[in-house]
């Protein structure tokens, strides 16, 4: 759990990392991995980011082969009833808040968010709807998983309105796309890059 956070911390121990993991078992091992590696700069919150504050239903996936195991760690649970609810082994209420609220309460005025790893199983549009100030003021590069047939239109609209470019991640590098729509792949990771930061990713472009 928390692989990308662990890699980032190992690469640059001086950065500040916040992880959001509402699934208790995943949160537990995320924190444990940070502790075992002695990474002091990773702060894990048992919180789901969304477009409002309050409570929401989290649809968790139970491995059918190991139903008796207490700590279920399937990575495809989430707040989206269509994506996760139909396969949910169990569900429960979680605390939700917006990223804008969290940033306002936990970062000072001089701190900026540089990078966001976003993978919430088809509720990414809600996370971004609650991050309007972050998108406009911090201008982070965002690594985001796109699940075909879910919320491509919503994500395409949000990122386009905020002057972001789309770079599809492949094994060999990245390719730029004009849109998130009509992608032939069923599951793909993208870098969403503010147009003014295009130079940071150009060296990885495939030609």
- 140-193 per-position pLDDT tens digit: 999 998 988 889 999 999 999 999 999 999 999 999 999 999 888 876 899 999
pLDDT at 84 over 60: no
Q: What is the pLDDT of residue 77?
A: 73
Q: Does residue 100 sit in the same domain as residue 191?
A: yes
User: What are the residues whose beta carbons fall under 8 Å from the beta carbon of 72, sequence distance 6 or more?
Assistant: 23, 25, 60, 61, 62, 63, 66, 89
**Residue in 71, 47, 8 with CA at minimum distance from that of residue 127:** 47
Q: Does residue 11 sit in the same domain as residue 95?
A: no
Mean per-residue pLDDT, 42-54:
97
Burial 19-29 (b: 16+ CB within 10 A, else e): bbbbbebbbbb
Q: Does residue 19 sit in the same domain as residue 103?
A: no
Q: What is the pLDDT of residue 151?
A: 92
Q: Residue 89: how many CB atoms within 10 A of its CB?
A: 14
The answer to pTM > 0.75 is: yes
- The count of structural domains within the chain is 2
Q: Does residue 23 sit in the same domain as residue 51?
A: no
Q: Which residue range is the domain that position 60 belongs to?
A: 47-204
Q: Does residue 105 sit in the same domain as residue 83?
A: yes
pLDDT at 67 over 70: no
- 71 confidence band (pLDDT: 50, 70, 90): low
Render pLDDT for 90-122 as a digit per residue (tens, 0 to 9).
788 999 999 999 999 999 999 999 999 999 988
pLDDT at 72 over 80: no
Q: Does residue 107 sit in the same domain as residue 156?
A: yes
Cα 176 to Cα 192: distance, rounded to the nearest angstrom:
10
Q: Does residue 100 sit in the same domain as residue 7?
A: no
- 55 confidence band (pLDDT: 50, 70, 90): very high
Q: What is the pLDDT of residue 74?
A: 63
Strand 42-45 to 164-169 pairing = unpaired
Cα 13 to Cα 54: distance, rounded to the nearest angstrom:
33
Strand 90-97 to 54-60 pairing = antiparallel
Backbone phi, then psi, for 12, in 5-degree steps? Answer: -145, 90
Render pLDDT for 27-40 as a digit per residue (tens, 0 to 9).
998 999 999 999 99
- 64 confidence band (pLDDT: 50, 70, 90): low
- 83 confidence band (pLDDT: 50, 70, 90): low
Q: Does residue 29 sit in the same domain as residue 51?
A: no
The one-character DSSP state at 138 is I
User: What are the residues whose beta carbons fall under 8 Å from the beta carbon of 160, sequence distance 6 or more?
Assistant: none
68 against 77, higher pLDDT: 77
């Amino acid at each position: 759990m928390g692989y990308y956070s662990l890699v980032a911390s190992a690469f640059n121990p001086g950065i500040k990392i916040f992880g959001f993991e509402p699934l208790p078992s995943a949160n537990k091992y995320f924190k444990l991995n940070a502790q075992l590696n002695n990474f002091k700069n990773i702060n894990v919150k048992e919180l789901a980011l969304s477009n409002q504050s309050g409570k929401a239903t989290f649809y968790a996936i139970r491995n059918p082969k190991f139903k008796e195991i207490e700590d279920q760690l399937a990575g495809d649970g989430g707040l989206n009833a269509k994506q996760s609810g139909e396969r949910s082994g169990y569900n429960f209420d979680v605390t939700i808040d917006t990223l804008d609220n969290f940033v306002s309460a936990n970062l000072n005025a001089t701190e900026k968010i540089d990078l966001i790893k976003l993978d919430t199983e088809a509720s990414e549009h809600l996370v971004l709807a609650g991050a309007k100030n972050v998108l406009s003021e911090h201008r982070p590069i965002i690594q985001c998983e796109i699940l075909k047939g879910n919320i491509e239109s919503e994500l395409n609209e949000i990122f386009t309105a905020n002057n972001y470019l789309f770079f599809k991640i492949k094994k060999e590098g990245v390719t730029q796309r004009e849109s998130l729509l009509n992608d032939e792949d069923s599951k793909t990771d993208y870098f969403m890059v503010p147009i003014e930061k295009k130079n940071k990713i150009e060296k990885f472009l495939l030609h």
